[in-house]
Amino acid sequence: MRRAKISIIGAGNVGATTAHWCAAAELGDIVLLDIPLTEGMPAGKALDLFQAAPIMGFDARITGTTDWSHTSGSDVVVVTAGIARKPGMSRDDLLSTNAKIVGDVATRIRETSPDAVVVVVSNPLDAMVQRTFQVTGFPPQRVIGQAGILDTARYRAFLAMELGVSVEDISAMLLGGHGDTMVPIPSCTSVGGIPVTQLVPADRLESIVSRTRSGGAEIVGLLKTGSAYYAPAAATAQMVEAVVRDKKRLVPCAAYCDREYGVGGYFVGVPVILGSAGVERIIELSLLPDEKGALDKSVAAVRDLVAAMNRLTA
């Protein structure tokens, strides 16, 4: 049986760790690509990872390259390319720079892997997945943003810490944009089937939600010189697995919504069925009034972000 071909664009911490998770799970053969300025870096990381295979017992061909032709015919392309915000850099500077980088990447994907499902990880996520969709011209179900799985994982981890229970027993859902306006859905959060509102006082739950919203910033503050990559890469690998193995996972992803939730043509975090075709179905939840209001606010923030990007890239 033919192995899936998974190309990861950007061989930094998130990209390389995504390659690690995907290889260890034997999801397919992996191409790790970075820009020519990095010379042998992607090849070195790929070779190092492949040399772990005899020890860990996984079979996957892993190629590190700066040549886009090596990605041709990919089943899944993961986009982690982009820069992190630096001291003195404005929000618009970051948005403009990464929109150009991601736009260039999307052009190459369109040329080399026209049938691929694209998973976007680059930040600002909600704008970068919209940019990828604009440039590739792919059907919207084949362009997906990774954020909801990561945000939900952080939420679940913090709830497990609060309650002293296994993370495996916590089921949760978050909607909306990635970042400060993400929307937790307490009505869809449970611990071993018990509604979380019966186990965690309202003030503590709000504190956990607040920590989840700033989960990435908390890690940046602790690391000082970098940002999170283990959990973002694990979340990305879960999405890749759902696609290449046609798992039909019900997970939160940044998906293109038009009539759904009244979004009107933007990518926002919603529950989806994720399989070999990409987003196979969007699940519309019946939200409580305060949940719907928070989601509307989050969608408005996404619209503003995309409008700013469109102005900067016009």
272: which strand partners?
A: 251, 282
161, 165, 168, 174: CA torsion to nearest 10: -50
CA atoms of 257 and 34, how far apart (whole Å): 31
Examine the domain organization and report whether 272 and 202 are in the same domain.
Answer: yes
Examine the domain organization and report whether 185 and 295 are in the same domain.
Answer: yes
Domain-terminating residue out of 122, 145, 168: 145
Domain-terminating residue out of 119, 145, 171: 145
Examine the domain organization and report whether 141 and 155 are in the same domain.
Answer: no
Examine the domain organization and report whether 126 and 227 are in the same domain.
Answer: no
pLDDT digits (tens, 9 = 90+) for 139-148: 999 999 998 9
**β-pairing, 183-184 with 190-191?**
unpaired
What CATH number has the domain bearing residue 35?
Answer: 3.40.50.720
**205, two tokens:** 């739950």
pLDDT at 180: 81
pLDDT at 59: 94
Examine the domain organization and report whether 110 and 200 are in the same domain.
Answer: no
Residue 187 amino acid letter: S
Total domain count, the chain: 2
Question: Rg for the chain (alpha carbons), in Å?
Answer: 19
pLDDT at 238: 98
pLDDT at 86: 66
pLDDT at 270: 97
pLDDT at 248: 98
Residues of the chain with pLDDT under 70: 1, 86-90
Domain-terminating residue out of 106, 128, 145: 145
Examine the domain organization and report whether 196 and 178 are in the same domain.
Answer: yes
User: Phi and psi at residue 65, in whole multiples of 5°?
Assistant: -155, 165
CA atoms of 278 and 229, how far apart (whole Å): 23
pLDDT at 46: 97
Examine the domain organization and report whether 153 and 141 are in the same domain.
Answer: no
214 DSSP assignment: T
pLDDT at 87: 62
59-68 burial, b at 16+ Cβ within 10 Å, e below that, comes to ebebbbbbeb
Among 64, 113, 116, smallest CA distance to 277 is for 116
pLDDT at 170: 97
Examine the domain organization and report whether 68 and 162 are in the same domain.
Answer: no
pLDDT digits (tens, 9 = 90+) for 268-284: 999 999 999 999 999 99
Among 165, 157, 256, 134, smallest CA distance to 208 is for 157
Examine the domain organization and report whether 215 and 137 are in the same domain.
Answer: no
pLDDT at 246: 98
CA atoms of 33 and 11, how far apart (whole Å): 6
Instruction: State how far the alpha carbon of 147 is from the alpha carbons of 21, 70, 126, 193, 267, in Å.
Output: 17, 27, 9, 24, 11
Examine the domain organization and report whether 109 and 236 are in the same domain.
Answer: no
pTM of the model: 0.95
Among 276, 7, 256, smallest CA distance to 141 is for 256
CA atoms of 18 and 16, how far apart (whole Å): 5
pLDDT at 89: 63
What CATH number has the domain bearing residue 220?
Answer: 3.90.110.10
Cis bond upstream, residue 54 (ω within 30): no
**Residues belonging to the active site:** 178
Examine the domain organization and report whether 165 and 277 are in the same domain.
Answer: yes
Examine the domain organization and report whether 158 and 114 are in the same domain.
Answer: no
Structural domain containing residue 235: 148-313
Q: What percent of the chain has pLDDT over 70?
A: 97
79-89 burial, b at 16+ Cβ within 10 Å, e below that, comes to bbbbeebeeee
